[in-house]
C-alpha cells in the first residue's frame, strides 16, 4: 500500500500544546522509512484544514489528520464519501483512534497508515456539522468548555479535572428529546449521542456504540445528587455506568434535543452548534484507514 501512496499530513502546530509539532519528526521518519511520500500541511483553523484536505485529496494524496478528535471530525466531514482518511493521534483525547484500535504511540499508528485497510464507517451530523465520535449537551457542555480553557493541565487528565470542576455550579436541566420522532423528557445532566464509544480521553460513555452499525447510541444521564454523580464518575472509564438506574440508553438514526436553557453542543472536544439540535447518522459516509481485522 505504502509504495503507491503519498500522504498529506494535515496538522495545526499549536494544538494540544504543540503536540503535533513534537510528533512530526517521528511521523516523517516512520512513513518515509516505509516507502511513502509525505507532504506536511500546517493549518491554523478548521476551515483551512478542510480546504487543505479537499485540495490534497484532489491531487490523489491520502489525507491524514495529525491532531485531536476535532480535526478528525472536520476532515471526515470534508472528505465524506470521496476519499479515505488516515488518523494519527496527536491531540489530548484521541478517542476516535482508540475506538478503531489505532495505537496511541505514533510509530504504531504510522504502521496502520502503511499496512492498514480501508473501512467504511458512519458519520454523525449535528445541525449539519459533521462529527466522528460523540455529540453531547448539558453538563458535558460546561465540562468541555472548562477543559478547553485549561492551560496548565496536560494530557487527558484535563477532562477528569473539568468534570469535577463543572459540578460545583451545575443545576439540573430539563431535556426534551425526540428519538426518530418519538418524544421523551427527563431532568438531569446530559444527553450524549454517540457514533463511537469514547469521549474525554477514554471515557467509555456509550460502550455499545459501533461506528459501522447504522445507528446512533443515545445516553441519558438523569438526575441524582452531586455526591452520587461524582462517586459514579469512575465507572464511565469501564462503561459499567450504563448499569446504573440513573442512566438510560436508546438507539436511533435521528435525535432532536432541546433543553430549558441555552447550551452549546460539543462534539469531538469542540463546540459545533447550539440547541435546539437535530443530530443525524450519515451511514457509510466515512472511509478510514484502520488496522487489519
- Residue 249: all three cell numbers together: 440508553
Distance CA 202, CA 194 (A): 14
**Residues labelled catalytic:** 270
> For residue 28, what are the contacts with CB-CB under 8 A and spacing of at least 6?
38, 40
Q: For the chain, how many residues are written? A: 293
Please say whether the beta carbons of 112 and 276 come within 8 A: no
HSE at residue 124, side-chain half, CA atoms within 13 A, is 36
How far apart CA 218 and CA 134 sit, in angstroms, is 9
Please, what is the angle between helix 139-149 and helix 157-167, to 10°?
130
Q: Which helix (H) or strand (E) holds 34?
A: none
DSSP state of 5: -
Please name the residue ranges forming H helices in 59-182. Answer: 69-79, 95-100, 106-115, 139-149, 157-167
* Cell, residue 245: 438506574
- Placement of cell 491520502 in the chain: 62
Partners of residue 64 on adjacent β-strands: 9, 86
Amino acid at each position: 500500500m505504502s509504495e503507491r501512496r503519498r500522504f498529506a499530513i494535515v496538522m495545526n502546530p499549536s494544538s494540544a500544546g504543540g503536540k503535533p509539532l513534537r510528533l512530526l519528526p517521528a511521523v516523517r521518519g516512520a512513513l518515509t522509512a516505509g516507502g511513502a511520500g509525505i507532504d506536511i500541511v500546517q493549518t491554523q483553523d478548521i476551515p483551512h484544514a478542510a480546504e487543505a484536505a479537499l485540495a490534497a485529496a484532489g491531487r490523489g494524496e491520502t489525507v491524514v489528520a495529525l491532531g485531536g478528535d476535532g480535526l478528525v471530525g472536520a476532515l471526515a466531514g470534508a472528505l465524506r464519501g470521496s476519499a479515505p482518511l488516515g488518523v494519527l493521534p496527536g491531540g489530548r483525547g484521541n478517542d476516535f483512534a482508540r475506538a478503531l484500535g489505532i495505537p496511541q504511540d505514533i510509530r504504531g499508528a504510522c504502521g496502520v497508515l502503511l499496512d492498514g485497510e480501508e473501512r467504511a464507517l458512519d458519520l454523525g451530523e449535528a445541525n449539519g456539522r459533521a462529527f466522528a465520535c460523540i455529540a453531547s449537551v448539558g453538563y458535558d457542555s460546561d465540562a468541555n468548555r472548562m477543559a478547553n480553557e485549561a492551560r496548565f493541565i496536560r494530557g487527558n487528565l484535563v477532562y477528569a479535572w473539568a468534570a469535577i470542576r463543572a459540578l460545583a455550579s451545575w443545576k439540573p436541566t430539563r431535556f426534551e428529546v425526540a428519538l426518530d420522532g418519538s418524544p421523551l423528557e427527563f431532568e438531569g445532566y446530559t444527553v450524549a449521542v454517540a457514533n463511537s464509544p469514547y469521549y474525554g480521553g477514554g471515557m467509555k460513555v456509550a460502550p455499545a456504540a459501533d461506528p459501522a452499525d447504522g445507528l446512533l447510541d443515545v445516553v441519558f444521564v438523569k438526575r441524582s445528587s452531586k455526591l452520587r454523580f461524582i462517586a459514579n464518575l469512575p465507572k464511565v472509564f469501564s462503561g459499567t455506568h450504563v448499569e446504573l438506574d440513573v442512566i438510560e440508553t436508546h438507539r436511533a438514526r435521528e435525535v432532536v434535543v432541546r433543553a430549558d436553557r441555552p447550551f452549546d453542543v460539543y462534539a469531538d472536544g469542540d463546540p459545533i452548534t447550539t440547541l435546539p439540535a437535530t443530530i443525524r447518522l450519515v451511514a457509510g459516509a466515512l472511509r478510514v484507514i484502520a488496522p487489519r481485522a
